[in-house]
Structure 1
Amino acid sequence: MSSSSLHSSSSSGGGAMENRRGVNKANKKTTTTSDDIRESIFFDESLQFLSFNQDGGCFAVGTDSGFRIFNSDPFKETFRRDFDGGGVGIVEMLFRCNILALVGGGAVPKYSPNKVMIWDDHQARCIGELSFRVPVRAVKLRRDKIVVVLEHKIYVYNFSDLKIVHQTDTWGNPHGICSLSPTQESCVMACPGLIRGQVRVELYEPQNVTKFIQAHDSPLRCVVLSLDGSLVATASEKGTLVRVFDCQSGCLLHEFRRGTDRATIYSLAFSKEKEWLVCTSDKGTVHLYRIPEGSVMGGGGGGGTGEMTHSNSSDNIAARDHHHHYHANSGNNTPTHNNNGHRAPPQSPMTPKSPSSMLQSVISMGVAANVLPKYLQAERSFAQFRMNTGGGGVTPAGNYHGESDHHRTSEFPEHSFGFCKASFSTSKDNRIVVICADGNYYKLEFDPVKGGSMSSVDYGKFG
């Protein structure tokens, strides 16, 4: 059979038919608002995208000429694909199998930024595509679902046949904020709602219920689910607080303080057993938070939750913004599943307490719950690590309890740190892997009992 694809173009003014071979050879330079809206976060201009796979065991790098896949721990490049003069702006892995989702990016995109290409690396070619009228902001995969994030809408498809099963409108979402649980036991998606700071949690299986959580007053910047989809962590554009909610009830369980100054939260990630939460931001510090068992705060973070049930039927779905197609000779289209600090002397009953210790005592008794600002009630990070952009050097965070630009030295000027993401190692429970837009790789370890400064046990370059 011919490998050419035939479908209607959904772009205004587009031709009625496209030939796949012709499109692949063209690789013409295009102007796209996707790259304009996406932050200029990469110091290495050849890098276009960074992301971990579902369990953090691998990470993918999109470049101006293709993509590369690395093992997270131990750090090692596993394979790469170089295209002739074509950039890749999104590379979404499906665990470690041969199926990936690609979206064109860079000055000369390999594919249109308005398309999601389903890539089979065993066959070294695309076996399907999803086309849209507007640029794709993000793609999320699990073994039975594909989620495509546009700026104001999200589509959910079956992986096996690319049949659309759900769609939802969202608050303006230029950063492609969305999280999808990867486990087979439950299918949960979290994304922005239609109200500023609201999180929409779709409990697809087995309940088919939608939860609305008013997580923040400011627009959302980061949302991530635990692996089993039971918890959701959120951060707003303000970036001072990180909140953790129960997905079933919508209740606020924990509130963590990153710092008092505004920051851009780049990533949040839960550990496999949901004991820890790691956070990265443009302040250059990796924060680790301990997640105690049970509900601590109660109630909603920003003022309430809501719920609605919905049907899985796609009969009423208007699919005007998208078009999908599997190639006729794609074969098997179903993815293969391959402080060292000194101890303070004990205080006598007559010794006056410091203001900070008095404040902590008041907070611990619950007296200040309705009096103190939220950022004073929130729990501080358990362990920290300060990164240095200069040549891979690192500065331990020491006994560090939140960032302030007023205390920042000339070595760490404001906005000197680029985009970075963190995930937990699949090799060791107290190990964190950090990947940065300057091509730096860090492997960190923390003391699960004492906390404090994390240590760098490995460093590498992938850019």
Structure 2
Amino acid sequence: MLSGSPTQGMFSNSRIGNSESPNSGASSSFTQPIVDMSENDETELLSITWNQDYHCFAAGTNHGFRIYNCKPCKETFRRDMKVGGFKIVEMLFHCNILALVGAVANSHYPPNKVLIWDDYQSRSICEFTFRSEVRGVKLRRDRIAVVLEHKIYVYSFTDLKLLHQIETLANPRGLCCLSHHSNTFVLVCPGLNKGQVRVEHFGLNVTKLISAHDSQIACFTLTLDGLLLATASITGTLIRIFNTMDGTQLQEVRRGADRAEINSIAFSPNVQWLAASSDKGTVHVFSLRVRVSGEDSLTQPNVVQGPALFHQNSSTSLDPLISTNTGANPNSTFSFMRGLLPKYFSSEWSFAQFRLPQSTHLIVAFGSENDVIIVGMNGSFYRCSFDIVHGGEMMQKECVRFLK
């Protein structure tokens, strides 16, 4: 069983299997249990995903899936199976509910099927089957978002009914992000135009379309309350931070001057820092000049903020979202010549950096204010810290080969 208590009241047994997918319908039959087994074959990583508070991560493998705690890095749970592996494993905080999507070689769970699995009961809750391959799944306590190549379906977690359908530009990366505060429901996905991001404030019935980049979107992330959005394009040089309420760009930071693929972006819990990982094998940390009224709510998700928080951060008053740069992560030393030199000389460069010994696909998160966690598709785990006053090279605190 996964760490944490089973989710209570999330499903009504009488309603299981009654929802319908517009493509083919959700399966009403229970699937066969995943069977524990011993494997002598070499284990291959297919995916790595954080849980919603970055305290754990899930690894999809060619034999099943594994769950790891981050502090310290330690495998806490695994399930191996006879029929193949999973390319998507999505956790729901620390509870026993997971969303699973099979790999191509999985004979029982094909890549066009989403399995909602309750490991406390060792059974499937339901299945959603689609006509095309599932590119991503995102969970929050009350919603399931299934990402296909050109569409996103949003279901209720209580009765599995379809609530929303969203058309997107071709989305092979399965890009989608949800807020996780109980009083705000924000979904971000690609829009219908290149470089465009669509922001859905479902609680307010508001849709914002943001022209974030000239190139195709490669990566984005939200703060827990969904009020701030960070985006990167396939060019991989700039990261932009937006107010999701009115689409205003609040800040722009630069990873570098050369092209790179940004694999992941993460806000720190206090929204003072932003981390980004790329295929260059370097993790950058930037100081943010944006702040959110009521920052304490970011670490206390149950505190009710309500409309007042949105009002303070609305387009009529952007001042609460912008603070003066106090020296951390200054513009480059050429900033006094802004407008006279190429743009990359006057950009805001990273405040701290960590260079890995080898380049691999990396995902990054914050463990605390100045504690950065890095997980690689080569099975490596790093924890490092940076000086919040002077920045510079980060100090390595932990290095583990978690895939054994």
Q: Determine if the TM-score, normalized by the shorter chain, exceeds 0.5.
A: yes
- The one-character-per-residue Cα deviations of 1:287-317 (angstroms, maximum 9, x if unpaired) are 001101369xxxxxxxxxxxxxxxxxxxxxx
The one of 264, 273, 276 aligned to 1:276: 273
| SS state at 1:375 partner | helix
Counterpart position of 2:152: 154
User: Does structure 2 conserve the Cα–Cα contact (< 8 Å) formed by 1:241 and 1:375?
Assistant: no
Counterpart position of 2:355: 386
| 1:105 positional shift | 1.0
| 1:77 positional shift | 1.1
| 1:121 positional shift | 0.6
- The one-character-per-residue Cα deviations of 1:160-182 (angstroms, maximum 9, x if unpaired) are 11111111111110001111111
User: Does structure 2 conserve the Cα–Cα contact (< 8 Å) formed by 1:62 and 1:89?
Assistant: yes
1:94 pairs with 2:92: yes
Counterpart position of 1:361: 336
Instruction: Return the alpha-carbon distance in structure 2 between the equivalents of residues 52 and 222 of structure 1.
Output: 15
1:322-341 equivalent positions in 2, closer than 5 A: none
| SS state at 1:266 partner | strand
Instruction: Return the alpha-carbon distance in structure 2 between the equivalents of residues 22 and 51 of structure 1.
Output: 25
1:133 pairs with 2:121: no
1:197 pairs with 2:166: no
Counterpart position of 1:107: 105
Q: Which amino acid aligns with 2:90?
A: E
User: Does structure 2 conserve the Cα–Cα contact (< 8 Å) formed by 1:171 and 1:193?
Assistant: yes
User: Does structure 2 conserve the Cα–Cα contact (< 8 Å) formed by 1:64 and 1:85?
Assistant: no
Higher Cα Rg, which structure: 1
Change (3 A) 1:11 1:238: same
User: Does structure 2 conserve the Cα–Cα contact (< 8 Å) formed by 1:179 and 1:224?
Assistant: yes
Counterpart position of 1:230: 227
- The one-character-per-residue Cα deviations of 1:169-198 (angstroms, maximum 9, x if unpaired) are 111100011111111121101110000000
| SS state at 1:156 partner | strand
Q: Which amino acid aligns with 2:337?
A: V
User: Does structure 2 conserve the Cα–Cα contact (< 8 Å) formed by 1:83 and 1:110?
Assistant: no
Instruction: Return the alpha-carbon distance in structure 2 between the equivalents of residues 162 and 23 of structure 1.
Output: 21
| SS state at 2:202 partner | strand
Counterpart position of 1:311: none
| 1:67 positional shift | 0.6
- The one-character-per-residue Cα deviations of 1:388-435 (angstroms, maximum 9, x if unpaired) are 12xxxxxxxxxxxxxxxxxxxxxxxxxxx221100111xx32101110
For structure 1, the 5+ residue unaligned runs are: 26-43, 296-355, 390-416
User: Does structure 2 conserve the Cα–Cα contact (< 8 Å) formed by 1:433 and 1:441?
Assistant: yes
Instruction: Return the alpha-carbon distance in structure 2 between the equivalents of residues 429 and 239 of structure 1.
Output: 25
User: Does structure 2 conserve the Cα–Cα contact (< 8 Å) formed by 1:67 and 1:88?
Assistant: yes
1:292-311 equivalent positions in 2, closer than 5 A: 292-293=289-290
TM-score normalised by the chain length of structure 1: 0.70
| 1:74 positional shift | 1.7
* Worse-matched range after superposition: 224-233 or 373-382: 373-382
| SS state at 2:240 partner | strand
Instruction: Return the alpha-carbon distance in structure 1 between the equivalents of residues 101 and 174 of structure 2.
Output: 13
Change (3 A) 1:148 1:233: same
Instruction: Return the alpha-carbon distance in structure 1 between the equivalents of residues 31 and 289 of structure 2.
Output: 54
1:436 pairs with 2:342: no
User: Does structure 1 conserve the Cα–Cα contact (< 8 Å) formed by 2:112 and 2:129?
Assistant: yes
Counterpart position of 1:124: 122
TM-score normalised by the chain length of structure 2: 0.80
| Overall identity of the aligned pairs, in % | 50
Q: Which amino acid aligns with 1:164?
A: L
Counterpart position of 2:83: 85
Q: Which amino acid aligns with 1:260?
A: A
User: Does structure 2 conserve the Cα–Cα contact (< 8 Å) formed by 1:253 and 1:294?
Assistant: no
Cα RMSD, aligned residues only? 2.7
Instruction: Return the alpha-carbon distance in structure 2 between the equivalents of residues 281 and 183 of structure 1.
Output: 28
1:240-259 equivalent positions in 2, closer than 5 A: 240-259=237-256
Instruction: Return the alpha-carbon distance in structure 2 between the equivalents of residues 110 and 277 of structure 1.
Output: 40
* Worse-matched range after superposition: 275-284 or 77-86: 77-86
User: Does structure 2 conserve the Cα–Cα contact (< 8 Å) formed by 1:5 and 1:20?
Assistant: no
| SS state at 1:56 partner | coil
Q: Which amino acid aligns with 1:263?
A: A
Q: Which amino acid aligns with 1:362?
A: M
| SS state at 2:225 partner | coil
Instruction: Return the alpha-carbon distance in structure 2 between the equivalents of residues 240 and 175 of structure 1.
Output: 19
User: Does structure 1 conserve the Cα–Cα contact (< 8 Å) formed by 2:197 and 2:212?
Assistant: yes
Change (3 A) 1:252 1:6: closer
- The one-character-per-residue Cα deviations of 1:256-306 (angstroms, maximum 9, x if unpaired) are 1011111111000111121111100100000001101369xxxxxxxxxxx
- The one-character-per-residue Cα deviations of 1:50-81 (angstroms, maximum 9, x if unpaired) are 01011101000001111110011121111111
| 1:107 positional shift | 2.7
Instruction: Return the alpha-carbon distance in structure 1 between the equivalents of residues 198 and 17 of structure 2.
Output: 35
User: Does structure 2 conserve the Cα–Cα contact (< 8 Å) formed by 1:171 and 1:196?
Assistant: yes
Change (3 A) 1:432 1:24: closer
1:453 pairs with 2:376: no
Change (3 A) 1:23 1:227: closer
1:368-379 equivalent positions in 2, closer than 5 A: 368=339, 373-379=342-348
Change (3 A) 1:278 1:81: same
| 1:375 positional shift | 3.2
Instruction: Return the alpha-carbon distance in structure 1 between the equivalents of residues 263 and 228 of structure 2.
Output: 19
Change (3 A) 1:271 1:110: farther
Instruction: Return the alpha-carbon distance in structure 1 between the equivalents of residues 52 and 28 of structure 2.
Output: 33
1:27-38 equivalent positions in 2, closer than 5 A: none
Counterpart position of 2:214: 217
Instruction: Return the alpha-carbon distance in structure 2 between the equivalents of residues 191 and 9 of structure 1.
Output: 20
How many pairs does the alignment contain?
A: 345
Counterpart position of 2:47: 49
User: Does structure 1 conserve the Cα–Cα contact (< 8 Å) formed by 2:20 and 2:162?
Assistant: no
Instruction: Return the alpha-carbon distance in structure 1 between the equivalents of residues 21 and 184 of structure 2.
Output: 35
